[in-house]
Amino acid sequence: MGMPVTPVPYDFIGDVLITPEQIEARVQELGEQITREYQNSDRLLLLGLLRGSVMFMTDLMRHVKRPMTMDFMSVASYSGTESTGFVRIEADHKTSIAGWDVILVDDIVDTGYTLSFVRKLLLDRNPRSLKICALLDKVDRRKVDLPIAYCGFRIPDYFVMGYGLDIDENGRNLPYICSVDLEKYGQRKKR
């Protein structure tokens, strides 16, 4: 029997696009795939980008049945809403990645500029291997070529929040992924 769900009172929730059950099932599949594909690795590092990847990361790692470590880094795009490719490192990862099999984990790939920048930066640090794992992929918005080894869901070009993803830091705690009602969100900002 499911627990009754208390709705979180954000007044700009659009449509629920991906339910908690769908997320859970897909994250489990990704974890199992990673477990299989890193069967011969004894130096597996999941490296998450703060803060959007946190919920995804902690769920994903529960399904990785291999010895592994976890680290995070925090990066910020310079411009406003649209990322530009000019990325600033706010906090770097703590452990050395040289010789490690690194999986770079993020919440969503939009233009691809952010992950493309971080990927090149990390490759210069000589990991044994580097792959990208993203929960969501807005394929139609891609501006640069980016190899995504593990992708949770492809979604259309909506602005989404929930399950770690935010709009101006709101909505990260929602257990599902939903579109943001931008009209309602705009009215709220004016108040």
Nearest 5°: phi and psi at 138? -95, 75
Q: Does 27 bind ligand IMP (CB under 6 A)?
A: no
Question: Could you tell which of Mg ion, ligand IMP, none binds residue 112, using a CB distance below 5 to 8 A set by kind?
Answer: ligand IMP
Question: Could you tell which of ligand IMP, Mg ion, none binds residue 110, using a CB distance below 5 to 8 A set by kind?
Answer: ligand IMP
Contacts of 133 (CB under 8 A, 6+ apart): 30, 34, 46, 60, 103, 104, 105, 106, 148, 149, 150, 151
Residue ranges with strand state E in the chain:
13-18, 44-50, 68-77, 87-91, 101-109, 129-137, 150-154, 160-161, 177-180
Question: Could you tell which of ligand IMP, Mg ion, none binds residue 64, using a CB distance below 5 to 8 A set by kind?
Answer: none
Structure tokens at 71: 């680290």
| Distance in Å, CB of 127 to Mg ion, minimum | 21
Task: Tell whether omega for the bond before 142 is within 30 degrees of 0, i.e. cis.
Answer: no
Contacts of 140 (CB under 8 A, 6+ apart): 156, 157
| Distance in Å, CB of 50 to Mg ion, minimum | 8
110 is catalytic: yes
Q: How far from 75 is each of 48, 108, 187, CA to CA, in Å?
A: 11, 14, 29
By CB under 5 A, which span of 33-41, 50-58, 125-133, 183-191 interacts with Mg ion?
50-58
By CB under 6 A, which span of 18-26, 37-45, 91-99, 101-109 interacts with ligand IMP?
101-109
48, 52, 162, 164: which one binds Mg ion (CB under 5 A): 52
45, 108, 148, 174: which one binds ligand IMP (CB under 6 A): 108
Binding region for Mg ion (CB under 5 A): 52
Q: Summarize as ranges the residues that interact with ligand IMP (CB under 6 A).
A: 52, 83, 106-114, 159-161, 165-166
